[in-house]
């Protein structure tokens, strides 16, 4: 399968006169990406390689068929095998590769898994975060760290959309793990002046997501097989959906601005298209794009410990980082559908 194509080749958006230019910032820059085999990790790695950065990826389990492998980028980066909770390994990696930028994406991201195995989720998401931050704190070379939080870190609020000043009050295991990791990152910035920012995105989607339990890849695969798409909730949960290429550019923009602007240390940024939809609405949109409206969704209403309505206000990122999405929802979904069509045709 060809390497990803699209907006990732475009210049990312440091604020003129404040942040640094991506055209000069990334070439030959040593960058550590944790969670490099995941959906966002694959797209972010490709974006960094297009900008001629020197990428180091941390990998615990090797999963065949990831975006990193299918794009050919696996052979273009240094790979360190190990666990995100191994602080000694992280310190060695940052030291030996003289890492300057850190993108901490590694996490256990599945709500159902968190409900069944909360301790493992807390280990990966909470302990893993402080291990990365402590390793970075001990390094003289690191100048910017972007930590992936989530809209789930906010927990349940009556006031929508969520802005960055909303309290972090996750209650269920996955949500609580993201609240904790988010607060730990802010604590390191406040206490040690560590150059770290936190990103909070809605539901990411795009080619490369191999978790078929998620609504978008699961729906696309079902429709390609001529089967009814499965909706595990009642279909009325409301979420943001952000295309992964846009999320990758958001992370680049955050790092570029953070490196040149001390006032951004410890701040959090929401990234969203600000177009919330119900699960059934996103399924219907995919059906229309794939011309399979004849296959009615199989609504099972089995989801538990999930937030009913959650979406984000991204005005702060637009104002302070000059960020905006490059892709509309239909364009992102069409590119995603094409990726899965190629994947499943090749199997």
- Beta carbons of 272 and 201 less than 8 angstroms apart: yes
- Measured CA to CA in angstroms, residue 160 lies from 42, 93, 106, 274, 305 at distances of 31, 41, 28, 11, 19
Distant-in-sequence, close-in-space partners of 108: CB < 8 Å, separation ≥ 6: 114, 117, 120, 121, 124, 125, 174, 177
- The pLDDT of residue 13 is above 60: no
Q: Would you state the structure tokens that stand for residue 345, as one six-digit string?
A: 């045709």
pLDDT on residue 62: 82
Average pLDDT over every residue of 196-206: 96
Of 151, 192, 157, nearest to 175 by C-alpha is 151
Judged against a pLDDT cut of 90, whether residue 97 lies above it is answered with yes
* Selected residue with higher pLDDT from 4 and 265: 265
Q: Specify the pLDDT at position 8.
A: 62
Mean pLDDT of 134-159: 96
pLDDT at position 22 over 80: no
Q: Evaluate whether 100 touches 30 at the Cβ level (below 8 Å).
A: yes
Tell me whether residue 68 is exposed, middle or buried, using C-beta atoms within 10 angstroms of its C-beta: 0 to 12, 13 to 18, 19 or more.
buried
What DSSP character marks residue 75? G
pLDDT digits (tens, 9 = 90+) for 288-340: 999 999 999 999 998 877 889 999 999 999 999 999 999 999 999 999 999 99
State how far the Cα of 221 lies from the Cα of 40, in Å rounded to an integer.
Answer: 20
Average pLDDT over residues 153-177: 96
| CATH superfamily of the domain spanning 7-202+242-274+309-326 | NAD(P)-binding Rossmann-like Domain (3.40.50.720)
What is the DSSP-derived secondary structure letter of residue 82?
A: S
Q: How do strand 277-278 and strand 238-239 relate by DSSP bridges?
A: antiparallel
Beta bridge partners, 197, equal 146
pLDDT (tens digit per residue) in 101-110: 999 999 998 8
Is the pLDDT confidence value at 19 over 80?
A: no
Query: Which pLDDT belongs to residue 274?
Result: 94
Give residue 307's pLDDT. 85
pLDDT tens readout for residues 24-73: 999 999 999 999 999 999 999 999 999 999 999 999 988 888 899 999 99
Residue-averaged pLDDT of the chain: 93
Q: What percent of the chain shows pLDDT beyond 70?
A: 93
| Burial (Cβ within 10 Å: 0-12, 13-18, ≥19) of residue 27 | exposed
**How much is the pLDDT for 130?**
98
pLDDT, residue 114, reads: 93
Alpha helices in the chain (DSSP H): 22-25, 39-50, 67-70, 87-96, 111-116, 118-122, 128-137, 173-192, 215-224, 244-260, 279-290, 315-321, 329-346
Q: Is 225 a catalytic residue?
A: no
pLDDT at 345 (0 to 100): 87
Question: What pLDDT is recorded for position 16?
Answer: 45
Note the pLDDT of residue 21: 61
Query: In terms of Cα–Cα distance, which of 67, 124, 54, 121 is closest to 93?
Result: 54
The Cα 107–Cα 84 span in angstroms is 9
Looking at 97, 154, 162, 174, which residue is catalytic? 174
pLDDT in tens, 217-259: 999 999 999 999 999 999 999 999 999 999 999 999 999 999 9
Q: Which residues contact 252 (CB under 8 A, 6 or more apart)?
A: 12, 22, 26, 44, 47, 48, 51
């Amino acid at each position: 399968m060809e390497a990803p194509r699209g907006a990732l080749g475009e210049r990312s958006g440091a604020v003129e006169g404040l942040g640094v230019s991506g055209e000069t910032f990334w070439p030959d820059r040593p960058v550590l990406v944790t969670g490099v085999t995941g959906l966002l990790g694959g797209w972010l790695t490709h974006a960094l390689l297009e900008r001629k950065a020197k990428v180091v990826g941390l990998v615990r389990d090797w999963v065949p068929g990831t975006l990193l492998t299918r794009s050919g980028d696996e052979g273009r980066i240094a790979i360190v095998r190990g666990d995100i909770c191994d602080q000694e390994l992280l310190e060695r990696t940052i030291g030996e590769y003289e890492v300057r930028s850190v993108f901490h994406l590694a996490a256990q991201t599945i709500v159902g898994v968190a409900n069944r195995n909360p301790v493992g989720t807390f280990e990966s998401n909470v302990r893993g975060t402080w291990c990365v931050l402590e390793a970075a704190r001990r390094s003289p070379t690191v100048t910017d760290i972007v930590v992936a939080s989530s809209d789930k870190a906010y927990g349940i609020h009556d006031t929508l959309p969520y802005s960055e000043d909303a309290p972090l009050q996750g209650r269920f295991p996955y949500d609580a793990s993201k609240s904790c990791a988010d607060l730990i990152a802010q604590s390191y910035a406040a206490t040690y002046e560590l150059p770290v920012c936190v990103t909070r995105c809605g539901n990411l989607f795009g080619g490369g997501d191999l978790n078929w339990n998620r609504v978008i890849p699961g729906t696309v695969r079902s429709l390609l097989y001529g089967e009814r798409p499965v909706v595990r909730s009642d279909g009325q949960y409301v979420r943001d959906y952000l295309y992964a290429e846009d999320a990758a550019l958001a992370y680049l923009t955050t790092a570029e601005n953070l490196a040149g602007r001390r006032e951004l240390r410890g701040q959090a940024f929401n990234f969203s298209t600000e177009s919330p939809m119900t699960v059934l609405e996103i399924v219907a949109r995919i059906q229309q794009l794939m011309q399979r409206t004849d296959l009615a969704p199989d609504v099972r209403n089995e989801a538990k410990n999930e937030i009913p309505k959650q979406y984000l206000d991204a005005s702060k990122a637009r104002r302070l980082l000059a960020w905006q999405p490059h892709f509309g929802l239909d364009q992102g979904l069409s590119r995603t559908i094409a990726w899965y069509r190629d994947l499943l045709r090749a199997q």
